[in-house]
Amino acid sequence: MSRLELNGRKVEFHPGETLLQLASRHGYAVPTICYHEATGTRGLCRVCAVEVAGQARPVPACATLAQEGMEVRTESDELHTLRRTIYEWTMLATDTSEAPGIEREAALLSTDPARWGRAPQDRLRRVPIRDNPFFLRDYAKCVQCRRCVDACGDGIQGVWALSLAGRSLQSCITTPLELSLPESPCVFCGNCVQVCPTNALKPLAEAALQGGPA
């Protein structure tokens, strides 16, 4: 096995192991939003960024392979500032009230989204979509992590009924030609619902219990 330095410790790593997997295996909690092992989603949100000696800027731990001789730090003032900013902008533009993972990490970093003023409200104004008998699409809660897109595509199901359209804060998850789900290639397998970290996709029964559209 090869070795690198992780937070000042010499540790061994397996061939093909990412820095996120390595850190987790050695007991270092690195936060993530977009990463999901089943879907292959990685490297988008940058919350898992870590510092590697010799690199000009932090690298995404979920998408960076461990290499012999690396010197890696998973915590620093700069990383805390970066992660705090990402969480603040996410919470400013998106309803994260049903995303306990995001809310928990944001609290640990003492985030204050209001310090950035008022963000464009496009996402928060999106109306929940019920166009099928199985689950609700509430894109006001969507953080554009792409987990659902990748689960529907190459990651798990292979039907590509979901995609990401638009740019920046105008981006949104949609279907081909903005069709309803029953008109799309969707087979209602539920994999997209299972991997969603914010409850933007949820079973209709759960939405009804929470007072949402039934």
Q: Are residues 85 and 65 in the same domain?
A: no
| pTM confidence score | 0.89
Total structural domains within the chain: 3
Shared domain for 57 and 43, answered yes or no, is yes
Both tokens assigned to 63: 């998408």
Do the domain assignments include residue 125? no
What CA–CA distance (Å, rounded) separates 98 from 35? 18
Residue 115: which residues within 8 A CB-CB, separation 6 or more? 88
Please work out, in degrees rounded to the nearest 5, the angle formed at the alpha carbon of residue 37 by the alpha carbons of 198 and 45: 50
Write down the pLDDT at residue 96: 95
pLDDT at 211: 62
Domain annotation covers residue 127: no
d(CA 214, CA 207): 7
Q: What is the chain's pLDDT, residue by residue, as a tens digit (214 residues)?
A: 799 999 999 999 999 999 999 999 999 999 999 999 999 899 999 999 999 999 999 999 999 999 999 999 999 999 999 999 999 999 998 999 999 999 999 999 999 999 998 876 677 888 999 999 999 999 999 999 999 999 999 999 999 999 988 876 678 899 999 999 999 999 999 999 999 999 999 999 877 666 655 5
CATH number for the domain spanning 64: value is: 3.10.20.740
Nearest to 145 by CA among 191, 90, 98, 105: 90
Asked if residue 59 and residue 43 are part of one domain, the reply reads: yes
Residue 176 and residue 196: Cα distance in Å, rounded?
20
Q: Are residues 95 and 48 in the same domain?
A: no
66 and 103 fall within a common domain: no
CA geometry: angle 21, 3, 40, nearest 5 deg: 25
- Which domain range does residue 56 map to? 2-75
Question: Does residue 123 form part of some domain?
Answer: no
Would you report the helix, strand and coil content of the chain in percent, each value rounded to 5?
35, 15, 50
CA distance 163 to 151: 11
Specify if 35 maps to a domain. Answer: yes
Phi, psi of 190 (to 5 degrees): 90, 0
Q: How far apart are CA 82 and CA 170, in angstroms?
A: 22
Structure token digits, residue 70 = 């690396």
Identify whether 162 is part of a domain: yes
Q: Decide: 211 and 168 in contact? Cβ < 8 Å.
A: no
Residue 70 placed within a domain: yes
- pLDDT score, position 166: 81
- 181 and 156 in a common domain: yes
The answer to the question of residue 87 being in a domain is yes
